[in-house]
Structure 1
């Protein structure tokens, strides 16, 4: 029994990489100093995995910005507008990621998209008709040697060729089919290079395999890897999948000459069923994704032990793995000084998940796993009550009727009433909501949290900013105004701080893209609203003008999707709990004279299942009603 980690957070326990990169862009840090910070972080991350007994430690999961962009640069996929700047390699890379405006030229950044069903964003590489795809970079080989020099053998991880071609943008007439030979040759060269270096394993990440696949997609995947795997020499190849199951291609994948196959048993709804129905080849290693890489709750060892025992009936060689990269969870609980141990003992961030893998390995190597100290202590934990229930909330959710999700009267009648009341022009003007979070605004919030100013001073500053921006909006002639949200640090974290049932961490940062990190709240228990959240500031803003000021709220689905959810109740029930809490805020805003209320659902698409056939039954059938529940009780 061995253990593996698909990828590890790269920003550092205290966001050291974020601050170093930002200083570099401000010219406060040299390239050499930036590279030194990066090297130090990589070594720390490898060593913490080694110290926790991880057998398959990953290299090349580090990135200054994004791994898909790293892959593009490695393969010479750099659009001409960036080459023409004549920058050095690092600055050309950052120009693609962030854009560049300087004495060498003016270019926009490449576009970003959400990475499957996560809140991480990847850079979309662009392949022009004249792009020559070939291996030109050395980053993965350099980092593999760097780890070896630290006394650590790693498996180097790459975005797989199939997923890469599915995510890039072809800007001309060139197609994926036109690129098969070139991409396969480049990946074969990667394997040849690692074979020369004496690497034991290389990991190709293929999350696109969990999507709906057509016969043409499966043929494309087969064509690419038949060419790549024909030249793998002595280096073993791990096909790593995550974010779901590979039901459309499982039978094909298990017949191909991969040495290891990584399957997701956390989000993969049919993964176990596939293994039961079709078996698993004796000559391959199963990397079983059993420790959740996207949520922060402790692993239930009983469930995992039972799963691995069953898999042992089909698989000769099993490696315990994370379900996906740990990039999607915070770094460690060690820095959470304000969280009580009563909370922390139920949680596992990235470093704690390493310990879980190590403990599970020891448990499963024992002839009687259920007798081990680690197993017994884990079951004691799961038998404890977390004291997170609110009976009134549960009764309210269970008592919801069909009519609670319907707003009356119908939209046509409401439109007539609203037009008569608001008398807005044909094309009314407004802004989306939040106004610039300047350094001054951030400093005011920081000073209050650190106790440097009183609550009254904090509020006074915010109201001064509100008055300033209400006046500006009136001056430029906007029809519907906003108060600016100067009191809010984040559109989700702010509501998490003000609703009952959430935990807020100190250092629970997760990379969203580049140097942008977010601190998702943890949904600890039943959600309720015991105090007003936005009413005072909204009412104050409205008192300054005769024009309508919008109430600004984050919707329940976005709050849920940008938080770490509970695993002991359904997402549907959790969404309805949040919806009822936000509904209370909506009704109080209405009662205090706020006539227009905006409910933001920026993350509605975020948790759409990977397969379109599951969109409604597994998500939209409760997500849309949750949104409707928030506003169904207001007047026309």
Structure 2
């Protein structure tokens, strides 16, 4: 039995790539030194896979920022505004990813969106009518040869032609279908080059195939690959899908001359049934995704063997694969010194998953797989009782009624009450919550965790930072203030650490985008809140000013979606447990006279099924009520805000309105304010704050740029409904750029206000 990986984490076991990239951005290291970090990481990753017997080792799964951006650059999909800067190829690449502001010009970054149903973000390629899609880069080939020099034969990986064209943004008259010929020719050139280099296999990732496909989509896919595969020569082509099943295109995949088809048997609910009912082509290799690439729990060999043994009778050639890239799980358990042995024996991070492949291969090679020591050890792990329920939590969730999910009075009456209470000016200004986490802020938190300072010293530092932050916000004229979140390491991890039922890691980092890594909590048991989590700091901030100060919380769906969830209960049950815990915090904030409370649901869309037919039944039917449960108990004059970012929200905009918040802020600047059309078209009742500038870019927006954005919003959003804010929290930004950008924001709002 052979084994294959779709992709491997690229940031390094201790985030070496993140730190090297940030040093490069600051000018502290050279481009050569940055490239050398990449060389060292790739070599380490390939060797680890080789040592664990992986037969199909991916290359070109490494990226300095984003794989889809790499693919765009490979095929010359670089908008003129970046090319005209006259920068080096890597600098141009980073300008597309982060924006650029310098003597050569001032350009915004490409839009950033969630990668299907994950917390990873991709850069959206931009195609205009003058774009010439053609093979222009060498990274894919360079890394294949790099591995070859280490005597490692790899399977080069790139985003497939169909997914590339489906995810791109088209700014002219031409659409995806108009680029079929040149796209197919460019991919054919890749195959020709790989033939020259002696590659045996190439993997083209087509996750878009697990979404709802129209007849036009199927025609586009078929037309592309009929042309691409005619040029494949000796190199074998694996079309790799993940994040779901391929029910809409199973027959098309079988009919095209692919050499291998990768199918997800973890998230693909109908994958096994598709193979049962339709068979599998004898001339193709089935790459069966049976090792979960998204979650960190150990593989249940009993379940996996049942699938593999059935597939062995249905497909003549079978390879064991991950369900998706291991990019979505942490690097290694070896860096975890504080987790108990009982915890760790249940987990498999990326490196441990390599060993799972080796063990599965050994078990399947055994005369009686079910009698092998490796199988029996795994069976004992799953037969043992890991978890004892919290009866108080279970009783509370089971006692919920419809009334617990309904806030009274209705929105229109609340809006009038709140307008009368707060008397905010038109276009009220605020921020999303966090302020820069400087080295000083991080050092204070680190010193406290290590026991180098007392709790009193730690808190006093935070109080001083809050006082400074409140004064600066007052000085520049913001209308609704925040305390800055200096006590928080991460918007989910902070709450996980404060709730019962979570456990935490030291170095289980997962890439979210570019240099941004997160350390998701692990849901180990039933979730509850034993004490207030945010009241002390929020109350202190409120005592410093006569202006409203928002209490800042993370919502239950985002906490769940940005954690590694349990697999023994439903996501709905976990979400309701977390919702009740956050509800307790909301009511405590209100009791302490915090009159505006923001409950962020940045990840609301993240676990939304990729097929629309499953949205209501499998997700929205509990995700929206979970949010309503959090705030349904507050008074009419308490204003509830929420925030969402970096996803496509237009198609669920009515469901978002049904969350029944009072104000919703959206990421909008990178997506060119596209959300305002959806807001306008559906008669959105909730007040809104589409972000007026991109906080993931170091550039400082001008007052005129911000005014233009506000006027565009006012063309479609009533002035009584519109708030003015950045598009996300300011945690990752520098101090100088943050305050300068906010000064411009306030000035722009005041100048537009004066024209109303």
- 1:460-514 residue CA offsets vs partner (Å, 9 max, x unmatched): 1111121222233344444433222111111111101111111111111111111
Match of 2:459? Answer: 459
Match of 1:554? Answer: 554
CA 388–483 in structure 1, closer or farther in 2 if over 3 Å, else same: farther
Match of 1:63? Answer: 63
Shift, 1:633, TM fit: 1.9
1:345 correspondence with 2:345 = yes
CA–CA distance in structure 2, aligned partners of residues 309 and 25 of structure 1: 50
More moved, 589-598 vs 477-486: 477-486
Please say if residues 75 and 186 of structure 1, whose CA atoms lie closer than 8 Å, have aligned partners that are also in contact.
yes
Match of 2:529? Answer: 529
Other structure's SS at 1:133 match: coil
Other structure's SS at 1:280 match: coil
Match of 2:184? Answer: 184
Other structure's SS at 1:72 match: helix
Shift, 1:593, TM fit: 2.2
CA–CA distance in structure 2, aligned partners of residues 171 and 539 of structure 1: 48
CA–CA distance in structure 1, aligned partners of residues 480 and 169 of structure 2: 38
More moved, 326-335 vs 34-43: 34-43
CA–CA distance in structure 2, aligned partners of residues 259 and 266 of structure 1: 22
The 5 Å alignment of 1:175-254 reads 175-254=175-254
- 1:499-543 residue CA offsets vs partner (Å, 9 max, x unmatched): 111111111111111111111111111111111100111121222
Match of 2:120? Answer: 120
- 1:202-251 residue CA offsets vs partner (Å, 9 max, x unmatched): 00000000111000000000000000111111111101000111111111
Shift, 1:436, TM fit: 2.6
- Where structure 2 has 5 or more consecutive residues not aligned to the other structure, the ranges are 637-756
Match of 2:616? Answer: 616
More moved, 133-142 vs 218-227: 133-142
CA–CA distance in structure 2, aligned partners of residues 309 and 111 of structure 1: 44
Match of 2:154? Answer: 154
1:282 correspondence with 2:282 = yes
Please say if residues 388 and 524 of structure 1, whose CA atoms lie closer than 8 Å, have aligned partners that are also in contact.
no
More moved, 515-524 vs 320-329: 515-524
CA–CA distance in structure 2, aligned partners of residues 418 and 74 of structure 1: 53
CA–CA distance in structure 2, aligned partners of residues 420 and 111 of structure 1: 38
- Where structure 1 has 5 or more consecutive residues not aligned to the other structure, the ranges are none
- 1:430-463 residue CA offsets vs partner (Å, 9 max, x unmatched): 3322223233322222222232221111111111
Match of 1:489? Answer: 489
Match of 1:167? Answer: 167
More moved, 274-283 vs 28-37: 28-37
CA 525–223 in structure 1, closer or farther in 2 if over 3 Å, else same: same
1:403 correspondence with 2:403 = yes
- 1:283-331 residue CA offsets vs partner (Å, 9 max, x unmatched): 1110000111011110100000011111122111111100000001110
CA–CA distance in structure 1, aligned partners of residues 596 and 180 of structure 2: 53
Shift, 1:424, TM fit: 4.2
Shift, 1:118, TM fit: 0.7
Match of 2:360? Answer: 360
Match of 2:390? Answer: 390
Please say if residues 529 and 581 of structure 1, whose CA atoms lie closer than 8 Å, have aligned partners that are also in contact.
yes
The 5 Å alignment of 1:477-626 reads 477-626=477-626
Shift, 1:427, TM fit: 4.9
Runs of 4+ in 1 over 6 A off after TM superposition: none
- 1:316-355 residue CA offsets vs partner (Å, 9 max, x unmatched): 1111100000001110000011111110110110011111
How many residues end up aligned between the 2 structures? 636
Other structure's SS at 2:158 match: strand
Other structure's SS at 1:463 match: helix
Match of 2:721? Answer: none
Match of 1:46? Answer: 46
Match of 2:329? Answer: 329
CA–CA distance in structure 1, aligned partners of residues 90 and 417 of structure 2: 58
Please say if residues 388 and 501 of structure 1, whose CA atoms lie closer than 8 Å, have aligned partners that are also in contact.
no
Shift, 1:103, TM fit: 3.2
Shift, 1:388, TM fit: 4.7
Shift, 1:596, TM fit: 2.2
| RMSD between aligned residues | 1.5
Shift, 1:417, TM fit: 4.1
